[in-house]
Structure 1
Amino acid sequence: MQQTAFAALIVYAFVMSITPGPNNVMLMSSGLIFGLRRTWPHLLGILAGVLLQIWSTGAGLGALFALEPRLQVALKIVGSLYLLGLATRLWRAAELEESHAGRPIGFTQALAFQFVNPKAWLMSVTVASTFLPPGDGYALRLLTVSLVFAAVGLPCIVVWAAFGAGLRPWLRDRTIARRINRAMALLAALTVLLFWM
């Protein structure tokens, strides 16, 4: 891969990983409710799911989405319903103590969510079409792109979970806890709009 293309890939990975989206909103919520340590399976599940998605798209699955627009609509619907369900749970969570009864999103759930996350599909299809030209050394380029996304993406998503965890001390006050949970619920619900733009 040429130096300019490699630099562009790093910038693209950073922008896609650090900007708000379903994964980052859910990570901030998980950090807020469960703390950073209990959010690690969720973080690693996102990373594994994105890598699996890049490999699947690179292997030709992206072409299927380009040919069948109804699959894209189905993904948007499922992803929207999932996020609206999460927003409802956050809205109803009154305080930190109540949240201890629940469990954070696990590795497998986070991995599976990537396959109904339109932002993740957009990223994977763009990566395959822009940074993975066919030809000799394709497998090595696919591996390189995956490693770049892992190296750049993980610190970016950890920032979101850590930010949520940093808000935890504020949750001792019931009124503040309710306001923060409801603000997180609104953010999760508003993220659904990104799917349909």
Structure 2
Amino acid sequence: MSLMGPPGAILLLLFAAAVTPGPNNLLMLRIGLESGLHAVLAPATGVVLGGVVMLLLSCAGLARAFAVHPGLRAATTICGAGCVMWLGVRLICCSGASARARMGSRTGGARDLLRMFLFQFVNPKSWILVLTITAAAGDTSVSLVTLIVLFILIPYGCLALWAGGGSLAASLLHDTRARVRLERSAGAMLVLSGLLLLCPP
């Protein structure tokens, strides 16, 4: 695949959006920090499946609905930003030994998959990414199958990268206070990202 052609351009756009800090990546960082890489597969799969379903909905006409009804996009942004900020505040308040005890019992199973799947539909960054990619692909010969493959492979890799960073940090930070500071920093970044989502472009 040539990086100079339409598929390559979409690949680079998708990678740039998927690897940069955002709610999904910060949550994967937290899971990696608290529970290790073994707990990441289910929630990461929820993120990927949610993205693929959103892509299909966008290609089926939902992108036009967002364009025709600005209020729909505004409502999604406000709701999503509120959820992101709530997650950040919760992470700040629940950081520490008690949170680690709860997270230690995570199964990384169907419940985590479903939570992250549903979260994508109120995650403004996910909608921005999907709508941007759909618009970019609409003027090219890139097939829907190619888009689906890219939406599976690239987000999985980026989520694993962030989760791996959290797992590595957990192995290096043996001091409880340092871990708590990292958790609170991740929570603060979530709150900040939620606030930034409310700022007009």
Q: So what's the TM-score if we normalise by structure 1?
A: 0.88
Selected match of 1:107 from 97, 113, 119: 113
Q: 1:174 corresponds to which residue?
A: 176
Summarize the alignment of residues 144-163 of structure 1 with structure 2, pairs less than 5 Å apart: 144-163=146-165
> How many residues align structurally?
193
Structure 1 residues 81-137: Cα deviation after superposition (integer angstroms, max 9, x where no partner) = 212221122112343564232446711111111111111111111111111349xxx
Equivalent residue letter for 2:90: R
Q: 1:132 corresponds to which residue?
A: 138
Structure 1 residues 172-196: Cα deviation after superposition (integer angstroms, max 9, x where no partner) = 4232122112111111111113312
Aligned counterparts of 1:189 and 1:19: Cα–Cα separation in 2: 16
Structure 1 residues 46-102: Cα deviation after superposition (integer angstroms, max 9, x where no partner) = 010011111110111111111111111211222122122211221123435642324
Aligned counterparts of 1:76 and 1:87: Cα–Cα separation in 2: 16
* RMSD of aligned residue pairs (Cα, Å): 2.3
The answer to whether the 8 Å contact 1:62/1:125 transfers is yes
Aligned counterparts of 1:130 and 1:192: Cα–Cα separation in 2: 25
Equivalent residue letter for 2:81: S
Equivalent residue letter for 1:144: T
Aligned counterparts of 2:95 and 2:76: Cα–Cα separation in 1: 31
The answer to whether the 8 Å contact 2:83/2:122 transfers is no
Equivalent residue letter for 1:62: A
- Segments of structure 2 that go 5 or more residues without pairing to the other structure are none
- Segments of structure 1 that go 5 or more residues without pairing to the other structure are none
Aligned counterparts of 1:115 and 1:86: Cα–Cα separation in 2: 15
Q: Does residue 195 of structure 2 align to residue 189 of structure 1?
A: no
Q: Are the structure 2 counterparts of residues 96 and 132 from structure 1 closer, same or farther at C-alpha, using a change threshold of 3 Å?
A: farther
Q: Does residue 33 of structure 2 align to residue 27 of structure 1?
A: no
Percent identical pairs in the alignment equals: 27
Q: So what's the TM-score if we normalise by structure 2?
A: 0.86
